[in-house]
Amino acid sequence: MTYRPVSGLALAADIDAGRLSPGDVLNRAEAVIAEHEATIGAFEHLDIAAAANAARTASGPLHGLPVGIKDVFDTADMPTTYGSSIYRGHRPVADAAIVSMIKRAGGTIIGKTVTTEFAFFEPGKTRNPVNPGHTPGGSSSGSAAAVAAGMVPFAVGTQTGGSVVRPASFCGIAGYKPSFRLIPTVGLKPFSWTLDTVGFFAAGIDDVAYFVSAATGRNLRTDGAAPGAPRIALAHTHLWHEASGEMRQALETAARHAAAAGAAVAEIELAGLFSEAFAAHQIIQDHQAALALAWEHENHSDSLSAILRDTLDYGRTISVDDYDAARRTARAARLALRDTLTEFDILLTPSAPGAAPEGLGSTGSAIFNRLWTLMGVPAINVPGLKAGSGLPLGVQVVGRHGRDHETLLAAKWLETAISGAN
């Protein structure tokens, strides 16, 4: 069984040129879903009929292309369960801001994609399209899998720890976590309000940049651009030893291809303050989660998974003094990272410890993503490399806060360098 992501940018060009209609694209998406959804399980809810009606009248830069929305975003015309039985059948009265933005740009919402429980750790039903015996990652599991399987060209997710970059790496597609506050989180069920970030999935860098540009009206597109070779820092944190041998080799391969294509590449160590900031992430996240999910914890504790219930219990024990100290550590690390990125255009780091783990009992580890989410900087999974098993190995590009276009251009440059060398 072969799955292949489809280029949303190419589909948009075909629609624009009259070679395809939005209905043609939706029919193809419906056929792929009908054939593979029973195996992959990417969707919590589908409404093909409503999507067909919307596609007939869609106008805007997204040309009626189908989009999957992670089931932590409110949708007025579809159920929103947040991955929890507590909200089974829940129907919000309004769309989340990003859903409205996508509709206004001409995107067709085809369904709600599977999320882990409240976008935390408890896995859903979704399988990895590259190898269904392996996890697709999480918490944006359904969004990543739907794109990787070619069910939709675009999908929306969230990242609080590593929930966009890691599943994109595991599924072999582009995943983009923008700078913090670039995209509104209104209508998103919060877990940690200073970490939760809207993210985006597509086949490749040009595709994801096109999707975000169309949805936001921002100039973030990379197609047609010929970016110059970036200054790259191959960044080792205190967690470098946690990367598998194949992931370390993938980073070194990417760095070698980049140098051969003309990039200046240097190795740097990010330790000390940055390891303290990594620890601060959990304190901030868990303290905020205990507040954000206080009602669910107090009224439906028995309906929560054990791992979430334990996390919320722990979050309640974190004092406000420790929480504020963690926030100060995060701010100091952001300033230090800003200074580091005056010498480099991007950092190159692992997207995950390795390839997607076997089995569906875990969505994998976010240890190589949490720091960058805390820093609020753009982070992008660049696909193109593989483990010996054939599973994807993504490498992560990290840029300076607010320099999302430059970071996307650097990611495109690196993607081209990797694909050109393979």
Active site residues: 70, 139, 163
Q: What is the dihedral angle through the alpha carbons of 13, 14, 16, 18, rounded to the nearest 10 degrees?
A: 160
Query: How many C-beta atoms lie closer than 10 Å to residue 295's C-beta?
Result: 9
Inter-residue contact 173 to 167 (CB < 8 Å):
no
Tell me the C-alpha distance between 205 and 103, whole Å: 22
Inter-residue contact 145 to 126 (CB < 8 Å):
yes
Q: Residues 6 or more apart from 388 whose CB is under 8 A from it?
A: 246
Inter-residue contact 336 to 273 (CB < 8 Å):
yes
What is the end-to-end Cα distance of the chain in Å, rounded?
Answer: 24
Inter-residue contact 124 to 241 (CB < 8 Å):
no
Q: Residues 6 or more apart from 305 whose CB is under 8 A from it?
A: 117, 120, 121, 122
Cα 201 to Cα 92, 116, 166, 211, 310, distances in angstroms: 24, 17, 11, 9, 31
DSSP string, 395-416: EEEE--TT-HHHHHHHHHHHHH
Tell me the C-alpha distance between 292 and 82, whole Å: 13
Kindly give the pairing relationship between strand 231-237 and strand 197-202: unpaired
Task: Give the residues across from 396 on adjacent strands.
Answer: 349, 381
Tell me the C-alpha distance between 254 and 248, whole Å: 10
Strand order in the sheet with 154-159: 43-46, 108-113, 66-70, 154-159, 197-202, 174-177, 379-386, 392-398, 346-350, 231-237, 264-270
